[in-house]
């Protein structure tokens, strides 16, 4: 069995799917590993480091794709590389089936096995493969660091002979994995942290990290069976708007993380709310790639409205590619290991396994 990976488009994706540590594990499992030349050089990992383990390299991506039984990537391959895939090959990554349905249907019709890791079920056995959680953790942390870097005041309270500097007030909108990490990071750095979420189960988690949970009176619990947020009713949205409008007047930094899988991000922070915020405040929108949680979010740009900076990036993890690659590669290996039949040295597509059944694109 041969497993391969080619370089992503470096302009949009700096993470890699196979690190030297993980390459060694694949080889121990019985795979031959094939990579593009200079695969990890941009992360400070030389080809020699891989070669010393037994990894094979090629400067011809067509050769790598053609030779590999299994191809592991961050996202869907470009059209020209997808055209190289053939029957019985397996492609694993974050394939974004909501936006790439047509392309994935075409590949599937050619009897190419496709597994999209963002479809993993939220079960205990899948936790070691959960790329959404591992990457969101880093994104939540980095969003706080980026927003603090653009905030022109101190974050913790400072008592000096010249007077006291008050602590910054931070609001985290959406208390999923990214939001909880943002709360923890902001709290560690001395901020006063508030959070809100449509899932009532988040209250206990927020408070355990030292944040204050803001809840809409008589709120409904908007949580799917899979643990994700679902779209709120108009009545809930109106009550949430009123609560946020008052809260935002006193907030210095906002971290937005609210996403609904497969849909445009909900616009939670409206124009009039931003107009009432204090000049010098900062909003970091982690939902920027799906349209954003604010009325003015523009991916990869800092927009200033009435002295409030609104920012968000398509891929914030490009600013933490070494850490993000390390976690992603481990998640990927755990997934492949679950697919692999060690005795017969081949993949076993067992549809009775919930992990395999849910992630396979049919």
310 and 174 assigned to the same domain: yes
255 and 308 assigned to the same domain: yes
100 and 203 assigned to the same domain: no
> What integer pLDDT is reported at residue 97 of this predicted model?
92
305 and 348 assigned to the same domain: no
Give residue for tokens 């200079």. Answer: 38
* Residue tagged active-site, from 32, 58, 128, 228: 228
214 and 285 assigned to the same domain: yes
Distances in whole angstroms, Cα of residue 321 to Cα of each of 33, 149, 157, 226: 21, 19, 32, 28
In a domain, 47, yes or no: yes
Measure CA 259 to chain center.
11
* Residue tagged active-site, from 68, 89, 116, 130: 130
* Residue tagged active-site, from 28, 46, 78, 127: 127
Q: How far apart are CA 134 and CA 332, in angstroms?
A: 11
Q: Across the chain, where does the E strand assignment appear? A: 2-5, 32-36, 56-58, 70-72, 90-93, 113-116, 158-160, 163-165, 169-173, 192-196, 212-213, 253-256, 282-285, 303-305, 308-311, 340-341, 346-347
In a domain, 130, yes or no: no
283 and 332 assigned to the same domain: no
Q: How far apart are CA 161 and CA 68, in angstroms?
A: 67
83 catalytic residue (yes or no): no
> What integer pLDDT is reported at residue 1 of this predicted model?
92
Enumerate residue ranges in the chain where pLDDT < 70: 217-232
89 catalytic residue (yes or no): no
146 and 242 assigned to the same domain: yes
Q: How far apart are CA 127 and CA 72, in angstroms?
A: 19
Sheet holding 32-36, edge to edge: 56-58, 32-36, 2-5, 70-72, 90-93, 113-116
In a domain, 132, yes or no: no
Residues sharing a CB contact under 8 Å with residue 359, sequence separation 6 or more, in sequence order: 115, 116, 117, 119, 120, 335
Q: Which of 318, 334, 351 is the last residue of a domain?
A: 318
Maximum Cα interatomic distance, the chain, rounded to a whole number of Å: 73
In a domain, 129, yes or no: no
133 catalytic residue (yes or no): yes
110 and 179 assigned to the same domain: no
* Residue tagged active-site, from 17, 36, 73, 133: 133
The residue among 179, 156, 184, 178 whose CA lies nearest residue 169 is: 156
pLDDT tens profile 2-40: 999 999 998 999 999 999 999 999 999 999 999 999 999
Q: How far apart are CA 291 and CA 269, in angstroms?
A: 12
| DSSP collapsed to 3 states, 33-95 | EEEECCCCHHHCCCHHHHHCCCCEEECCHHHHHHHCCEEECCCCCCHHHHCCCCCCCEEEECC
User: 19: phi > 0 → left, psi -120 to 50 → alpha, else beta; which?
Assistant: beta
Count of domains in the chain?
2
191 and 254 assigned to the same domain: yes
For residue 306, give the CATH number of its domain: 3.40.50.720
* Residue tagged active-site, from 47, 108, 122, 353: 122
Q: How far apart are CA 129 and CA 146, in angstroms?
A: 27
> What integer pLDDT is reported at residue 78 of this predicted model?
93
Residue ranges making up the domain that contains 163: 137-318
10 catalytic residue (yes or no): no
What is the b/e burial string over 115-131, where b = at least 16 CB atoms within 10 angstroms of the residue's CB?
A: bbbbbbeeeeebeebbb
195 and 288 assigned to the same domain: yes
In a domain, 270, yes or no: yes
pLDDT tens profile 131-157: 999 999 999 999 999 999 999 999 999
301 and 328 assigned to the same domain: no
202 catalytic residue (yes or no): no
30 and 147 assigned to the same domain: no
> What integer pLDDT is reported at residue 173 of this predicted model?
95
């Amino acid at each position: 069995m041969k497993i391969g990976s080619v370089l992503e488009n470096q302009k949009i994706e700096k993470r890699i799917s196979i690190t030297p540590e993980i390459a060694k594990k694949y080889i121990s499992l019985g795979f031959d590993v094939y990579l593009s030349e200079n695969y990890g050089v941009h992360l400070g990992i030389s080809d020699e480091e891989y070669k010393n383990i037994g990894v094979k390299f090629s400067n011809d991506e067509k050769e790598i794709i053609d030779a590999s039984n299994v191809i592991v990537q961050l996202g869907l391959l470009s059209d020209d590389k997808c055209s190289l895939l053939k029957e019985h090959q397996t492609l694993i990554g974050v394939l974004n089936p909501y936006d790439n349905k047509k392309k994935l249907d075409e590949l599937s019709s050619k009897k190419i096995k496709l597994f999209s890791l963002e479809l993993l079920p939220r079960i205990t056995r899948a936790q070691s493969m959960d790329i959404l959680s591992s990457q969101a953790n880093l994104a939540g942390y980095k969003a706080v660091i980026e927003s603090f870097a653009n905030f022109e005041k101190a974050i913790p309270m400072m008592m000096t002979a010249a007077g006291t500097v008050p602590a910054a007030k931070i609001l985290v909108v959406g208390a999923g994995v990214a939001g909880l990490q943002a709360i923890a990071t902001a709290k560690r750095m001395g901020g006063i942290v508030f959070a809100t979420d449509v899932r009532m189960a988040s209250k206990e988690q927020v408070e355990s990290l030292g944040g204050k949970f803001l809840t809409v009176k008589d709120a409904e619990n908007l949580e799917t069976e899979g643990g994700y947020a679902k779209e709120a009713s108009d009545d809930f949205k109106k009550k949430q708007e009123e609560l946020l409008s008052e809260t935002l007047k006193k907030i210095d930094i906002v971290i937005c993380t609210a996403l609904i899988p497969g849909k445009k991000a909900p616009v939670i922070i409206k124009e009039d709310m931003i107009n009432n915020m204090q000049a010098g405040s900062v909003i970091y929108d982690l939902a920027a790639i799906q349209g954003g949680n604010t009325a003015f979010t523009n991916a990869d740009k800092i927009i200033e409205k009435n002295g409030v900076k609104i920012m968000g990036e398509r891929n914030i993890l490009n600013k933490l590619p070494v850490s993000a690659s390390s976690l992603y590669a481990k998640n990927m290996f755990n997934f492949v290991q679950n697919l692999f039949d060690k005795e017969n040295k081949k993949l076993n597509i067992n549809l009775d396994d919930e992990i395999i059944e849910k992630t396979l694109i049919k």
